[in-house]
């Protein structure tokens, strides 16, 4: 989990650096592209009866900075993401990116586009609207500040956990070869650092339900408690090994070799693996992976312990 977060943040950071390098090369062509893209996007959204975007149609496309661009991008569904990651290869560098980028996305994910215009880019638009085209750098600075503000502001701890999912949609951008696209794509990075809230109307269903995860250990306890003859005390925190009756040391206590939750000391576990290899608690075979490892060399019982320890930590946190 933490690794993923670190990766994502580094990716987005590199994307930002990349964008800054490219910023110098911005041209009128880029602007034209964006304007075209915005028109395309607007048309497709009107087609899709998007009520949120309609009022935005009246502001002249010529004066608006590339703000609207992030919208369809920022709302990538899984399917969109597949598309986006393919688009760099399919688009020749010189080709205007709008064809691959905006219309398709906004058509295919109309619902999430709307939700994005609600959640992510509204405030940012306020800041950006004041700036003119000449102040693109300033606009980006403001966007940075806004995004940072949003991250620090309204997020519960749960949002932090969900953050990586949003950021993970960015990676297609830095991979891009097209100069025009690469300058545009990093924008979503900053426009949506805010995670989906559970009550967001258009929250993608593919996002994991965090509440379910949080209640996972409790469910496990209930599940194990329902197991007929094994005593709940054994499952939660036995002080001694139920097999040899010796006290469990901290290593043994974190050792959870079977999904049924039956705990025992490492010595007894090794002894059982040498024999029929069935869990004393549920009589099911211990996982074959562990069995094979033991069969290959006698030193291996440590490995199952490591695996199961990481598992138990994961289930507890």
Partner 1 sequence: MLDVSRVQKELAECNKDKAISGVSINLHRGDDLSHLEGTISGPVGTPYEGGTFRIDVRLPSGYPFEPPKMQFVTKVWHPNISSQNGAICLDILKDQWSPALTLKTALLSLQALLSAPEPDDPQDAVVAQQYLRNHPTFVATAQYWTEAFAKRTSVGIEEKVQKLVEMGFPEALVKSTLDSVNGDENMALEKLCSS
SS3 224: helix
Q: For partner 1, which residue of 132, 137, 160, 246 counts as binding (CB under 8 A)?
A: 246
Q: What's the closest the beta carbon of residue 115 comes to partner 1, in angstroms?
A: 53
Cβ of 130: how many Cβ atoms within 10 Å? 12
How many C-alpha atoms does 317 have within 13 Å on its Cβ side?
Answer: 10
Distance in angstroms (rounded) separating the CA atoms of residues 289 and 301: 11
- The radius of gyration computed from the CA coordinates of the chain, to the nearest angstrom, equals 27
Closer residue to partner 1 in complex, CB, 218/275: 275
* 151 lies in the site for partner 1, by CB under 8 A: no
* 262 lies in the site for partner 1, by CB under 8 A: yes
* 271 lies in the site for partner 1, by CB under 8 A: yes
Give the containing element (helix H, strand E) for 236.
Answer: helix 232-236
Closer residue to partner 1 in complex, CB, 19/294: 294
Number of residues engaging partner 1 in binding (CB under 8 A): 15
- Label residue 106 left, alpha or beta by phi (over 0 means left) and psi (-120 to 50 means alpha): alpha
Distance in angstroms (rounded) separating the CA atoms of residues 296 and 290: 10
Q: Are 314 and 254 in contact (CB under 8 A)?
A: no
Q: What's the closest the beta carbon of residue 300 comes to partner 1, in angstroms?
A: 20
SS3 278: strand
Q: For partner 1, which residue of 275, 296, 297, 298 counts as binding (CB under 8 A)?
A: 275
* 230 lies in the site for partner 1, by CB under 8 A: yes
Question: Hey, what's the torsion of the CAs at 165, 167, 172, 173, to 10 degrees?
Answer: 170
- Binding span for partner 1 by CB under 8 A among 20-28, 109-117, 278-286, 298-306: 278-286
Q: 227: which 2 tokens?
A: 């197991």
Closer residue to partner 1 in complex, CB, 245/299: 245
**Considering only CA atoms, which of 305, 301, 309, 249 is closest in space to residue 274?**
301
Closer residue to partner 1 in complex, CB, 207/272: 272
Q: Which residues contact 166 (CB under 8 A, 6 or more apart)?
A: 192, 193, 194, 195, 196
Distance in angstroms (rounded) separating the CA atoms of residues 31 and 308: 55
Q: For partner 1, which residue of 6, 244, 289, 302 counts as binding (CB under 8 A)?
A: 244
Q: For partner 1, which residue of 2, 94, 153, 245 counts as binding (CB under 8 A)?
A: 245
Per-residue binding string, partner 1, 186-225, x by CB under 8 A, is ----------------------------------------
Q: What's the closest the beta carbon of residue 238 comes to partner 1, in angstroms?
A: 11
- Binding span for partner 1 by CB under 8 A among 1-9, 89-97, 175-183, 264-272: 264-272
List beta partners, residue 278. 285
Q: What's the closest the beta carbon of residue 234 comes to partner 1, in angstroms?
A: 8
* 247 lies in the site for partner 1, by CB under 8 A: no
- Binding span for partner 1 by CB under 8 A among 188-196, 209-217, 239-247, 289-297: 239-247
Cβ of 233: how many Cβ atoms within 10 Å? 10
By CB under 8 A, name the binding residues for partner 1: 230, 242-246, 262, 268, 271-272, 275, 278, 280-281, 283
């Amino acid at each position: 989990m933490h690794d993923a977060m670190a990766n994502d943040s580094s990716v987005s950071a590199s994307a930002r650096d990349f964008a800054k390098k490219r910023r110098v090369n911005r041209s009128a062509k880029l602007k034209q592209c964006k304007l075209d893209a915005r028109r395309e996007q607007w048309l497709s959204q009107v087609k899709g009866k998007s009520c949120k975007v309609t009022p935005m149609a009246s502001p002249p496309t010529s004066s608006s900075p590339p703000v609207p661009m992030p919208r369809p991008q920022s709302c990538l569904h899984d399917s969109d993401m597949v598309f986006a990651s393919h688009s760099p290869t399919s688009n020749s560098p010189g080709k205007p990116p709008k064809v691959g980028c905006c219309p398709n996305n906004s058509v295919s994910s109309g619902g999430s586009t709307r939700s994005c215009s609600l959640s992510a880019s509204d405030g940012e638009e306020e800041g950006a609207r004041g700036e003119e085209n000449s102040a693109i750098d300033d606009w980006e600075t403001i966007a940075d500040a806004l995004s940072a503000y949003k991250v620090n502001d309204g997020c519960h701890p749960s949002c932090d956990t969900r953050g990586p999912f949003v950021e993970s949609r960015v990676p297609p951008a830095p991979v891009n070869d097209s100069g025009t696209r690469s300058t545009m794509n990093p924008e979503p990075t900053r426009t949506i650092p805010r995670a989906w809230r559970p009550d967001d109307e258009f929250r993608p269903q593919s996002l994991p339900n965090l509440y379910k995860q949080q209640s996972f250990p409790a469910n496990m306890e209930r599940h194990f408690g329902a197991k007929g003859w094994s005593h709940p005390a054994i499952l939660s925190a036995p002080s001694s090994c139920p097999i040899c009756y010796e006290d469990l040391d901290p290593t043994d206590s974190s050792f959870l070799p079977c999904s049924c939750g039956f705990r025992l000391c490492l010595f007894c576990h090794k002894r059982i693996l040498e024999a029929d290899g069935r869990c004393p608690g549920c009589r099911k075979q211990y996982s074959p992976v562990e069995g094979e490892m033991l069969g290959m060399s006698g030193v291996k019982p440590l490995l199952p312990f490591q695996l199961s320890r990481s598992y138990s930590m994961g289930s507890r946190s």
